[in-house]
């Protein structure tokens, strides 16, 4: 059965790998990205998100079986919140009505092990209450006081909490739509230039994200997990962050929290 699936971030890394995997299995993929995709739009702006939603709906006649939001950036600046949080939640919200046409609708996004790390609470709170200008302002203030490294974790922590808040509502579980996340550790994509790291940088990364099982992951590993989450087999899993991280979450949080 051919499924029609929208994938953001489809031009590179995890999204590109997922789009290729889905197509190899006969699915009809509508890629969304800044360039080199079926729908080109900037998910970092409200106008761009509308363009993305309209573009996907126009190409699919308003009928989708799944949406996977992979697009993201990891810069220590406010744009990371715009792309990673609002670029995911608003894309999913905009395309959700198109999922209602499917007998097996599914949605997923890419979180991160970084979502378990220290955040800027004002950024997370503003995201969760849908105040983008305030969220970007709080991220800007964090960067100015030297806490820019908490912006990316904040965007991913907010996403996981947003998911828990909506996954059981009438829009999602009650409408038969599982909504889940895959949270990777370090993945060998252009975002994470691990190939080009110095010995010292590698040591710091390995301390921050210990991956005793298998080391850094290839993007295909994450793509396979996402494919299952949005596949017809996933009838009963929702609201979960699936850590595909070489054991990083278990190493960092131990037995206290899981």
Q: Which parts of this chain interact with ligand NAI (CB under 6 A)?
A: 9, 11-15, 33-34, 42-44, 70-74, 83, 87, 110, 112, 184, 186-187, 189-192
Spatial strand order of the sheet with 4-8 comes to: 39-40, 28-33, 4-8, 66-69, 106-110, 179-184, 241-244
Q: How far is the CB of 203 from ligand NAI (least distance, A)?
A: 17
Catalytic (active site) residue 152: yes
Q: How far is the CB of 156 from ligand NAI (least distance, A)?
A: 7
Query: 104 or 184: whose CB is closer to ligand NAI?
Result: 184
Residue nearest to ligand NAI (CB): 13
Query: 13 or 210: whose CB is closer to ligand NAI?
Result: 13
Q: How far is the CB of 229 from ligand NAI (least distance, A)?
A: 14
CA distance 75 to 21: 28
Query: 33 or 104: whose CB is closer to ligand NAI?
Result: 33
Burial class (CB in 10 A: 0-12, 13-18, 19+), 206: middle
Task: Identify the DSSP state of 257.
Answer: -
Q: Which phi and psi (to 5°) does residue 183 adopt?
A: -115, 105
Query: 13 or 55: whose CB is closer to ligand NAI?
Result: 13
Q: Which phi and psi (to 5°) does residue 219 adopt?
A: -60, -25
Query: 173 or 205: whose CB is closer to ligand NAI?
Result: 205
Active-site hit among 152, 172, 216, 243: 152
Q: How far is the CB of 191 from ligand NAI (least distance, A)?
A: 3
Does residue 99 contact residue 107 with C-beta atoms inside 8 Å?
yes
Pairing of strands 28-33, 4-8: parallel
CA distance 98 to 248: 36
Does residue 139 contact residue 80 with C-beta atoms inside 8 Å?
yes
Does residue 120 contact residue 78 with C-beta atoms inside 8 Å?
no
Q: How far is the CB of 9 from ligand NAI (least distance, A)?
A: 3
Residue numbers annotated as active site: 152
């Amino acid at each position: 059965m051919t499924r029609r699936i929208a994938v953001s971030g489809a031009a590179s890394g995890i999204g590109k790998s997922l789009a290729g995997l889905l197509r190899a299995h006969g699915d009809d993929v509508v890629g969304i990205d800044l360039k080199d995709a079926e729908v080109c739009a900037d998910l970092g702006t409200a106008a761009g998100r509308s363009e993305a939603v309209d573009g996907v709906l126009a190409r699919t006649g308003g009928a989708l079986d799944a949406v996977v939001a992979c697009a993201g950036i990891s810069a220590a600046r406010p744009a990371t919140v715009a792309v990673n949080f609002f670029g995911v939640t608003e894309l999913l919200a905009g395309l959700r009505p198109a999922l209602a046409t499917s007998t097996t609708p599914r949605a997923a996004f890419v979180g991160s092990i970084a979502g378990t790390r220290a955040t800027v609470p004002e950024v997370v709170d503003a995201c969760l209450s849908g105040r983008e200008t305030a969220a970007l302002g709080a991220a800007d203030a964090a960067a100015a006081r030297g806490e820019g490294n908490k912006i990316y974790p904040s965007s991913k922590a907010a996403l996981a909490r947003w998911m828990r808040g909506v996954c059981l509502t009438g829009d999602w579980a009650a409408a038969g739509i599982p909504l889940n996340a895959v949270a990777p550790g370090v993945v060998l994509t252009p975002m994470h230039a691990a190939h080009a790291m110095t010995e010292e940088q590698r040591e710091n990364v390995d301390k921050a994200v210990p991956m005793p099982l298998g080391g850094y992951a290839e993007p295909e590993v994450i793509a396979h997990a996402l494919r299952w989450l949005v596949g017809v087999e996933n009838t009963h899993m929702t609201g979960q962050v699936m850590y595909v991280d070489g054991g990083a979450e278990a190493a960092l949080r131990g037995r206290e929290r899981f």
